[in-house]
Structure 1
Amino acid sequence: MNTIIAFILMFGLLVFVHEFGHFIVAKKTGMLVREFAIGFGPKIFSIKKNETLYTIRILPMGGYVRVAGEDPEIIELKAGQHIGLVLNEQEEVKDIIINQKDKYPLAEVIEVSEADLTHDLFIEGSLVGEDDMTRYPVSETANYVMDGTKTQIAPYNRQFASKSKSKRALQLFAGPFMNFVLTAVLFFLLAILQGIPVEEAQIGEVLPDTPASDAGLIEGDVITTIDGKEITTWFDFQTYVALRPNEVMSMTVERNDSVSEVMLTPEAYQVDEQTVGRIGVMRGVEKSWAKAIPYSLSETYYWSKMIITNVAMLISGQFTVDALSGPVGIYDFTDQVVQSGFYSFMTWTAALSVNLGIINLLPLPALDGGRLLFIGLEAVRGKPISQEKEGLVHFIGFALLMLLMIIVTWNDLQRLFF
């Protein structure tokens, strides 16, 4: 149960932060955000506030912010169509009743002759059974009403395509950027709560019933030499011990102002089919507000660099699809991390967040990077690619990504259960 709760919270946080980036920039640049969704598929929860529908959906495979103009508007008015109009106090159309007009006794039912709900915002028509034409101004916040459900119209100035290339690019980039911000924040909190790993070979926590505890090592001890070899960093210390399981070694230990010698023998452990030595100590840490921000930025950079390297290896064929993990594999590893403690869970969440940011910036259809690529092509060509062609490319890309997700999930299931 702890793993399920942790996974839901982690997934919800990663997706929420990513989509919030898209959402807040869309709002700030004047775009109409129709929906803010966590997950895909059927809705399990929804609430409408102002212009936006907020939903939680059943499939934990991502989320989306649906901005007006990214997809063709579903409803359009045609000449000869009978509709109902409800006016506001300024005599502007506030509701356009498409069907079930009998439920709206105050609506004026007209036969449409002409309408523009994108630029000039008007509906022209005559009352049913009469010849006199009337031109009705339409409010920018007017709603279509179909089967009792209201959908706000999207004047061109509220649509994604109406904004400058820089604003559209910023809206697309904001999602991945927020994942990098989340990663840095999580590492900052880790630095404050857990501490920042020190560079020197300083002992942190000493685990009970281990060679280190039996030899009398305590937290704060600094290892300066092993078997006469100078040790200056934690990496030197860790590497020397790992390569010498079951070998007796002599360590020079500094404790406060004194120096002593201790003898101990690393225990042998199997790690990825290799035998390594361990003495049962954790790395020393220090807590410093001044160093917390540089540490959080350096860790974000480190994980970003590592993930980019792995993506490059995947593209070059050094990794195969079998090496990838989907939701099932992530859940399984989350289970292991949760058992290791809260700080390990925070580190895992930070790593997944930066991974989500980088993957979304790849220039692939349906991803933020793919859509940024189309804006780049627009800048080069001097005109946008048609919405239909771009939509088709993203649809095919999304279908291929879903197919990849199915393959990866199947591989995860085979690894875990077969």
Structure 2
Amino acid sequence: MTLILTILLFILIFGIVIIIHEAGHFLVARREGMRVKEFAFGFPPRIFSKRKGQTRYTFNSIPLGGYVSILGEEEESEAKDSFNKKKPMARLRVVLAGIGMNFILAWVLLILYFWVAPFGPKIDAVAVANVYAGSPAEAAGIKMNDFIVSANGTLLTSDEILGEFTRAHRGEAVTLVIRSQGKEKALTVQLSADEKAPLGVAIADVGALPTIPWYLAPWHALVEMFNVTVAVLGFLGQLIVKIFGVSTSASIQAVSGPVGIFSQLKQIMILGAPAVVHYAALISLAVGIFNLLPIPALDGGRAIFLFFESIFGKRALSHATEAWVHAIGFFVLILIIIVVTYFDIQRLG
């Protein structure tokens, strides 16, 4: 039953995030006088479809995406209401509208989170967000999404307590009580002498929930969005420079795909409604940040071409060539998702 509820909640959260994103493209395209051929949730095969005016509204069977099809976006069209006949800045507004809606949704959900957080349950344990390959934690059988309840009898009410404990017992064998899928068990773990990561896990403090005045929630939501965005872009920057041989701590193994995100949701549901709202906000923010990247096939990649056209008054590439560039970018993105999913499955054991 828990698995079914998790799947339904996963689909609901991603469905809302996707619909809001695509609604941004749809609404701004209509506002700019463009003809929207189709507004679709999910990917085919088709379950339900209805035409209203010039737009077909479609509900598909694979709820892992969505799209808005605008006349003249993927093909040349001579119609006045086609995408390719509008000015570059109008097209740029349409392309960036989905990202903007994701940021707005994230902000609204974070405000809601700060409002409801004081009423959420307090769990005195430390959540394992990631287990590093070859670490003492991996050798002992600790897995991502486990909870570490105590260490040598000391209750772990925060991530700081666990950090202090592992640093104080570097190189020693310790007993950790782990809660996994609702069941507790004691594990003997031989900590490494590594000063930075004696246990070898990324941890998250799930015990403390924020309590701030309701009227400060909008500001705190903006601050969290800014901090998360900076952290994500910094991490991605490290990944990029690592490709060119620069040594950094970033690793593709730390990136979560659909499988990893679904696994995290199973843990988050235990923490109550505030944690789920926070999770949904971060998903929406992540989708916005990801689409903002200047990669062909993503909104950010399309925006680069339109920005060039708006500055110089001509296309950087022909319509056909640009379509090929986006197709190649899409293929690369699929490969990245496959690699990330592989590491997700490895982490889950």
Aligned to 2:117: 194
Q: 1:171 aligns with which of 86, 94, 105?
A: 94
Aligned to 1:137: none
Separation in 2, partners of 1:281, 1:3: 19
Matches of residues 7-406 of structure 1 in structure 2 within 5 Å?
A: 7-72=10-75, 118=78, 155=79, 157-195=80-118, 239=160, 243=164, 274=199, 282-283=207-208, 285-317=210-242, 318=248, 319-384=250-315, 385-406=317-338
| Residue 159 (structure 1) shift | 0.7
Deviations 1:365-392 (A, max 9, x none): 1000110111122234421232111111
Separation in 1, partners of 2:277, 2:104: 14
CA contact 1:329–1:412 (8 Å) conserved in 2: yes
Aligned to 2:153: none
The amino acid that maps onto 1:243 is E
| Residue 416 (structure 1) shift | 2.8
CA contact 1:196–1:295 (8 Å) conserved in 2: no
| Structure-2 change in CA distance of 1:51 and 1:296 (3 Å) | same
Greater displacement, 44-53 / 359-368: 44-53
| Residue 275 (structure 1) shift | 10
Greater displacement, 48-57 / 63-72: 48-57
The amino acid that maps onto 2:320 is E
| Structure-2 change in CA distance of 1:60 and 1:408 (3 Å) | farther
CA contact 1:40–1:61 (8 Å) conserved in 2: yes
Deviations 1:239-262 (A, max 9, x none): 4785258x9xxxxxxxxxxxxxxx
CA contact 1:20–1:175 (8 Å) conserved in 2: yes
CA contact 2:123–2:271 (8 Å) conserved in 1: no
Separation in 2, partners of 1:188, 1:315: 33
If each structure's strand is expressed as a fraction of its own residues, which one has the higher value?
1
| Residue 284 (structure 1) shift | 6.5
Separation in 1, partners of 2:9, 2:68: 24
Separation in 2, partners of 1:28, 1:311: 34
| Residue 165 (structure 1) shift | 1.6
| Structure-2 change in CA distance of 1:351 and 1:310 (3 Å) | same
Separation in 2, partners of 1:366, 1:297: 28
- When the two chains are superposed, the root-mean-square deviation of aligned CA atoms in Å is 3.2
Separation in 1, partners of 2:319, 2:116: 49
The amino acid that maps onto 1:321 is I
Separation in 1, partners of 2:74, 2:162: 59
CA contact 1:196–1:285 (8 Å) conserved in 2: no
Separation in 2, partners of 1:32, 1:338: 41
Separation in 1, partners of 2:200, 2:233: 30
CA contact 2:35–2:54 (8 Å) conserved in 1: yes
Structure possessing the higher relative contact order (Cα contacts under 8 Å, 6 or more residues apart): 2
Separation in 2, partners of 1:206, 1:406: 34
| Structure-2 change in CA distance of 1:283 and 1:416 (3 Å) | closer
| Residue 39 (structure 1) shift | 2.1
Q: Which runs of 5+ in 1 are unaligned?
A: 74-116, 119-154, 198-203, 209-236, 248-266
TM-score (norm 1): 0.60
| Residue 302 (structure 1) shift | 1.7
Deviations 1:282-336 (A, max 9, x none): 4374352321211111121122122112211221224343332221221111111
Deviations 1:337-394 (A, max 9, x none): 1122221111111111111111101111100011011112223442123211111111
| Bigger radius of gyration among the two | 1
If each structure's helix is expressed as a fraction of its own residues, which one has the higher value?
2
The amino acid that maps onto 1:395 is A
Deviations 1:127-167 (A, max 9, x none): xxxxxxxxxxxxxxxxxxxxxxxxxxxx2x21111212211
Give aligned pairs, total: 280
The amino acid that maps onto 2:347 is R
Aligned to 2:155: none
Q: Which runs of 5+ in 2 are unaligned?
A: 126-157, 169-174, 179-190, 192-196, 243-247
The amino acid that maps onto 1:328 is V
CA contact 2:95–2:299 (8 Å) conserved in 1: yes
